[in-house]
Structure 1
């Protein structure tokens, strides 16, 4: 099964002592296509980006399981050889709902997902005022996900995320992560790390469980590069809002140009060709491959070109 292969490939990456998985955050088909074209070997579907792109809303727990799972599945389906790690928020309810969420993510071909310990009306991990469930409730979420994974005979990687650092302190956060690992989580994710010393300490305290590092521009966590993250011992590094903020900046610039000048001037590559023309985007999204497939199957839809 494609979904099993994707998860197994991610597990192989995590088992490789020389490998740190670097994931750009993508939120739709176009940003995912760009990341794939550049050559990343894993992607991250951001929940914040999904809320912004699908709903035009902030990351305040407004997305449903269907919003998230459908988006994750679309991204995972673009290239089944590239594992997709996806945000699953709180699992969207109690143990029954978490199990259903896990099943949906598995069927969508997602390689890994993370579940957190915030209340259902959650918020971005780099905002203030986060409210948490108690440790038994968090552990029940992870246990339900692990049970559903076993029932589905899946290899999907379960990532336990805690947001306890902000309000409960480091020791409580690590205690929650250890309890989650005992319940079936494969990777530990301490959100909202505030110092490089904490980055290093949690890897040591959670060993041998692999740890995930979240690099949020404008957030509370100091930014480190891939080399530094690897030296600290991290196995997965997310840059979750890379796609979202890039689109925001570029779209703002284009809209301001159109509003102020009445036109958008072409951008040019070094070879003098237009950069980002409509055909460039279509080719990125598989235009030639689609035309060729139609031809190979005996179709004539594009016999006169495209």
Structure 2
């Protein structure tokens, strides 16, 4: 069975969550995760060789619902997207936002179970109220430490009962309103309740980052690099020097797609065209791409090969 680390031909392989745990245990590895929000952006990241993907909750909310990240997405919205992303290439671990767990202890347990069954390798749970908001906005409201720790305990219980595995990342947004000491207390309690990784959202300085790594040791820590957010723009190398094990760039796809699509729409509306294929040749991103080129990113070649090997004739003469 795949869950036992065996492939159908009996050879041993690592599951996605086993790979993620191995990376966390590697003292020389910093896990750098590009943020993706749909199948196309995930396929692009996979094509470029990303060894771990991160599913952004904000990006999922905006792409699936067309709404801002204000606690609008439900478990079904998030799980459906995560399942699709995790199974584009099941050998590549996916870390996915799970917000607050979408309810009380029973609902948190259901969320964790659903993510495990979807093939997600890691998730993070936070201590905001259910009607949460993006961690880099003001005015966040928190549940009590007891309720937060209950969420993590419920997640750990569900993991144990599932006969599967998932890396549980405990996130706290307490720094903004309660201060550093309270945030650390919450993370320490979450780790004691079963969390594998600690995530202090919204830190504002290198000094806080250094203190976090020191105060949470030996628990691996997680950094969120949000363009224009409240936290420093730490590079992967910065995170390595500080001592982080995971660094995500959740808005990576969104922040580059936005100006490119906006520019193309503006050209269409103002000039009545989107640019000729010969214009800007040699400049990546400044030419138009054929359907075949775009389909190749999403597995056209593999689909054709599969059909031919199965005896199909639909693509015998190419596509």
Same structural fold, with TM-score higher than 0.5 when normalized by the shorter chain: yes
Q: CA deviation at 1:224?
A: 1.2
1:210-260 Cα deviation digits (max 9, x unpaired): 000000001000101111110100000000011112111111111111111
Aligned pair partner of 1:286 in 299, 306, 311: 299
Q: CA deviation at 1:285?
A: 0.3
Hey, what's the Cα distance between the residues in 2 that align with 1:218 and 1:288? Answer: 39
Corresponding position: 1:41 with 2:54: no
1:183-206 Cα deviation digits (max 9, x unpaired): 000000000011111111101110
What is residue 276 of structure 1 aligned with on the other side?
289
Hey, what's the Cα distance between the residues in 2 that align with 1:117 and 1:274? Answer: 45
Paired residues of 1:7 and 1:156 also in contact (CA < 8 A): yes
* Highest RCO, 1 vs 2 (Cα 8 Å, sep ≥ 6): 1
Hey, what's the Cα distance between the residues in 1 that align with 2:206 and 2:260? Answer: 31
Hey, what's the Cα distance between the residues in 1 that align with 2:204 and 2:177? Answer: 13
Q: Give the total of aligned pairs.
A: 306
Structure 1 outlier segments of 4+, above 4 Å: 1-4, 271-275
What is residue 303 of structure 1 aligned with on the other side?
316
Counterpart secondary structure, 1:155: coil
Counterpart secondary structure, 1:81: coil
Q: In angstroms, what is the RMSD of aligned CA positions?
A: 1.5
Instruction: Give the alignment of 1:229-244 within 5 angstroms.
Output: 229-244=239-254
Gaps of 5+ in 1: none
Q: CA deviation at 1:268?
A: 4.2
Q: CA deviation at 1:304?
A: 3.2
Instruction: Give the alignment of 1:1-306 within 5 angstroms.
Output: 2=2, 5-265=15-275, 266=277, 268-270=280-282, 276-306=289-319
Q: CA deviation at 1:276?
A: 2.9
Of 12-21 and 192-201, deviating more is 192-201
Hey, what's the Cα distance between the residues in 2 that align with 1:228 and 1:212? Answer: 13
Counterpart secondary structure, 1:114: strand
Paired residues of 1:161 and 1:177 also in contact (CA < 8 A): yes
Gaps of 5+ in 2: 5-14
Hey, what's the Cα distance between the residues in 2 that align with 1:39 and 1:125? Answer: 28
TM-score, with structure 2 as normaliser: 0.93
1:288 and 1:160, CA in 2 relative to 1: closer, same or farther beyond 3 A? same
Paired residues of 1:23 and 1:40 also in contact (CA < 8 A): yes
